[in-house]
Structure 1
Amino acid sequence: MSSFNALRHRDFRLLWIGQLISITGSQMQLVAINWHVYLLTESPLALGGLGLVRVVPIVLCSLAGGVVADAMDRKRLMLISQSVMLVCAGILSTMTALGHESLWSIYLLTAISSAAVAFDSPARQAMLPSLVPIEDFPGAVSLGLIVFNSAMIVGPSISGLLLRNYGPELIYGINAVSFIAVMIALLLMSATASRQVEAEKPVISLAALKEGLRFVWRTPIIVQTMTLDFIATFFASATALLPIFADKILSVGAGGLGLLTAAPGVGSVVTSLIMARLGVPRKQGKLVLASVAVYGAATIAFGLSRWFWLSLMMLAIVGASDTVSTVLRQMIRQLVTPNHLRGRMTSVNMVFFMGGPQLGELEAGSIANLIGARLSVITGGVGCLIAVVIAAFSARSLIRYEGEVAEANTVPRGSDQLRRSAEFLPELNAETTVDSRESSLSDL
């Protein structure tokens, strides 16, 4: 069965199209902000600071965002968070057009937007399994990555072209308008698309937060995938330094910066299409480790490259390997988590998934300030490979995970599929875990 079958479902299709438009605008703004800060400061440390102001609100707000996503109507929560991001982009566009922008105002508005993401992302990811049947869920994950990575190609490329002739204020304005697409999609979705079973809804409280944390920490395969993701992206995140590579090392300017930023998206889209067509492979745990190893090796090669075409190729490989890892990790986590805990699990994952790259940007900027951009990227790739070696000897649950998702998803709900998922939750009471997952899967 083709993974593109997920597009047959109206609510998923609406959200998929809305996200394609919105994320394209966000990727355009990402390039514009990096270039804007570089023009204002010409400082690697200031570029790294963008990572810090993005990650701090996520760390502070994401756990609360997960609790709210499980307790509140997820569609309504997304409408609120999308509105906040629209306002932030609009203010940034206006301030820049009037010449009132400063480094600290850019930092502040970026931080507010990141806080909104901390509520939006758990709601969106937790809602996803409710938009498609369980047999189409792996395809929905792959298609979601196709949206993100297509936006990574189109957004930066358009942004690079516009920055040649216009200021960043135009791009910020386009991003503000793009959020309306998701808001329209949410309003057109059926009323039951994001509705949770009332008995499953937690009260917004510290106890609900502790329940989510307890589930995550007692599920080894979730902890292992999150930790590996954080360490790998912390060391091998080179995004913040791309303006320096474009300007000083490769001498390709703003247009080249757009292509460099888009290159990982090219590799990711090609890989996502292949995975969506072929389905989920076996020996998924080992494949996650292998893909992270390729990610680190390609990062090293990018740092060593002095040729623009080779740099583009290495960044495309970075995107391709990251996509393989991301699809498998997200699928594993969502399928072993009961519906009423998915928002909280996703919020914990956000600390790792988004914290790694953003703190990695700060680390890369700080190291680049001391030893230069090229050595910063190279040493980061080496750190990523070391993390893979350590995981290969210590992450036993991940290594032995060989879930045959395509076959498992064809069996009746609540049968062998659930028991196979429960095998990776040894510290939890097996009967309770399987029963709760049966309940959540029957709602999909």
Structure 2
Amino acid sequence: MRLWVSRIFGGAAGQMVMVATAWQMYDLTGSAWDLGLVGLYQFAPVVLLTFFAGHVADRYHRARVSAFATALQLINAVVLLAATYKGFVSRELLLGVSVMLGAARTFQMPANQSLVPSLVPPAMLPRAMALSSAGFQVAVIGGPALAGLVFAVSPVSVYAVALLCLLVSLVLVSQVQYDHRTAGHSMTLDSMFAGLRFVWTRKQLLGAVSLDLMAVLFGGAVALLPIYAKDILQVGPAGLGVLRSAPAVGALCMSVLLAHFPITRRIGRTLLLSVAAYGVCMLAFGISTNFYLSLAALAISGSFDTVSVVVRQTLVQLDTPDDMRGRVGAVNSVFIGASNQLGEFESGATAALLGPVGSVLLGGCGTLAVVALWWKLFPALARRDSFR
């Protein structure tokens, strides 16, 4: 329970920081390219540190690794708070903070992912993953909505509230205990890349994690929400917070549903179809000029995205031995980070060429094409019936 509550507070703080920095960047530069760079700079540490972070998650106490990552985010919040209060926020500072936030999440994601199976029995893992997703979605709903409202009053207050949330998260995760056994392997290149070899040789895992990479890489529209909020829907920072929260509303509803009625059959087909439905939602969002229709499209996309996340995460954890979960989680983090952060860069870059609407429509079509291709490339995944 401590881990669950810690992730709610930490996730809410992270979402608040992302909303505030994205608005500040677009307000400073008015550039879709710079919004994309925020995602690219967050992804850079993933490339450099992921395999080392996975090894750390397998060798050391995973709750303490997560606490270290939370402390890093707390330092970033202090920097942003001071810079906003003193009035020296700049494009370069926001990009530098993006790098530090990316580094913190690089260590946090494999530690958190591999920690959950250490706290619950295998039979309860699908429900635990759904409950974990529900907690995260609560953070994703509350964080952006609160950030948008507070930002409209005072940008400094956003970082102050985020700082308090991170303090609570740090205290709670520091108290998480489990039966930790120090891994016997030493830190070598062969050991660090063992997770990558493990995923590569298991085609169903490779298909599941790479599907998320390609679908969100092309289909994500988060980086463009400041443009939609300011220029297309004209709803300001408060509207931006609501738009950022909308996918999480649908995701939370679906997470609660999956916690009570977990998916147990036709998991491969369900995974692929949920990603295809996500792509359709992105097409609807792309052509919408109505705020409420846009909210609905984003909310429904969040519900389908949660189905794919819960199926993929459960599949990865149950198909991986415990002493490999940190390193396999690190590989999964690379794919997630690439899809989210590189997806933001891709959205910004294509929006600079095609405009925001053209970028989102191209991404939605790309997502549908990826699903069709993966159905052919990974037939065993499409046919997989159960988790075990």
In the superposition, the TM-score normalised over structure 2's length comes to 0.97
How far residue 32 of structure 1 moved from its aligned partner, in angstroms, is: 0.8
Give 1:75 shift: 2.2
Matched, 1:369 2:356: no
Change (3 A) 1:187 1:251: closer
In structure 1, the partner of 2:159 is: 172
CA-to-aligned-CA distance 1:35-63 (integer Å, 9 cap, x gap): 11111111100101111011111121111
Runs of 4+ in 1 over 4 A off after TM superposition: none
Other-structure match for 1:78 = 66
Structure 2 equivalent of residue 87 of structure 1: 75
Partner of 1:246: 229
Does structure 1 conserve the Cα–Cα contact (< 8 Å) formed by 2:11 and 2:139? yes
1:267 positional shift: 0.5
Instruction: Determine if contact 1:74/1:194 at 8 Å carries over to the other structure.
Output: no
Identity %: 36
Q: How does 1:294-313 map to 2 (within 5 A)?
A: 294-313=277-296
AA at the equivalent of 2:74: L
- For the pair shown, the structure with the greater C-alpha radius of gyration is 1
- Check conservation: 2:10, 2:70, Cα contact below 8 A: no
1:68 CA drift (Å): 1.1
Q: Please give the alpha-carbon distance, in whole angstroms, between the structure 2 residues aligned to 1:194 and 1:122.
A: 18
Q: Does 1:141 align with 2:96?
A: no
1:195 maps to a residue whose letter is H
> Deviation of residue 355 (structure 1)?
0.9
Shift of 1:22: 1.5
Kindly state the Cα deviation for residue 171 of structure 1 after the two structures are TM-superposed.
Answer: 1.3
Given residue 172 of structure 2, which amino acid in structure 1 is its aligned partner?
A
Determine if contact 1:263/1:312 at 8 Å carries over to the other structure: yes
Which of 161, 169, 176 pairs up with 1:189? Answer: 176
Query: Residue type of the partner of 2:297?
Result: M
Q: Structure 1: how far apart are the matches of 2:197 and 2:350?
A: 36
Asked whether the 8 Å contact 2:64–2:174 carries over to 1, the reply is no
- Residue by residue, what CA displacement relative to the aligned partner does 1:278-328 show, whole Å, maximum 9, x if unpaired? 122410000000000000010011001111111000001110110000000
The 8 Å contact of residues 246 and 253 in structure 1, kept in 2 or not, is answered as yes
Structure 1 position 255 matched with structure 2 position 233: no
Partners of 2:179 and 2:352 in 1: CA distance: 46
Q: Report if aligned partners of 1:70, 1:201 keep a CA contact under 8 Å in 2.
A: no
Count residues in correspondence.
Answer: 388
Match of residue 34 from structure 1:
22
- 2:269 counterpart (286, 292, 302): 286
CA contact (8 A) 1:201 1:340 kept: no
Q: 2:368 pairs with 375, 385, 389, which one?
A: 385
Unaligned runs of 5+ in 1: 1-12, 406-420, 422-444
Shift of 1:194: 5.4
Residues 328 and 269 of structure 1: is their aligned pair in 2 closer, same or farther, counting only changes over 3 Å?
same
Q: Secondary structure at the match of 1:282?
A: coil
| 3-state DSSP of counterpart to 1:189 | coil
Residues 138 and 113 (structure 1), Cα distance of their counterparts in 2 relative to 1, 3 Å cut = same
Q: How does 1:57-72 map to 2 (within 5 A)?
A: 57-72=45-60
**Letter aligned with residue 180 of structure 1:** L
Q: 1:35 to 1:194 in 2, by over 3 A?
A: farther
Q: 1:71, CA displacement in angstroms? A: 1.3
CA distance in 2, matches of 1:212, 1:293: 28
Offset of residue 179 of structure 1 = 1.8
Distance 2:66 2:375 in 1: 38
Shift of 1:204: 1.6
CA distance in 2: counterparts of 1:189 and 1:237, whole angstroms: 33
Give the counterpart of 2:335 among 347, 352, 361: 352
1:202 aligns with 2:190: no
Q: Which of residues 219, 222, 225 is equivalent to 2:202?
A: 219
More deviation, 68-77/220-229: 68-77
Alignment equivalent of 2:10, drawn from 18, 22, 25: 22
Give the superposed CA RMSD: 1.2
Q: Is the 8 A contact 2:51 2:193 kept in 1?
A: no
Match of 2:99 among 93, 105, 111: 111
Q: Give the alignment partner of residue 266 of structure 1, picking from 232, 237, 249.
A: 249
Q: CA deviation at 1:397?
A: 2.0
CA distance in 2, matches of 1:252, 1:394: 42
Matched letter for residue 71 of structure 1: R
Provide structure 2 residue ranges, at least 5 long, that are not aligned to the other structure. none
Aligned partner of residue 354 in structure 1, secondary structure: helix
Distance 1:81 1:150 in 2: 21
- Distance in 2 separating the partners of 1:358 and 1:84: 19
Equivalent in the alignment of 1:440: none
1:251 aligned counterpart, secondary structure: coil
- Partners of 2:385 and 2:140 in 1: how far apart? 30
Task: Look up the SS of the partner of 1:101 in the other structure.
Answer: coil
For residues 270 and 280 of structure 1, what CA distance do their matches in structure 2 show? Answer: 15
CA distance in 2, matches of 1:315, 1:255: 16
Q: How far apart are the structure 2 equivalents of 1:16 and 1:142?
A: 12
Q: Which amino acid aligns with 1:201?
A: G
1:233-275: CA deviation from partner (whole Å, max 9, x where unpaired): 0001100100111111111111111111111011000111111
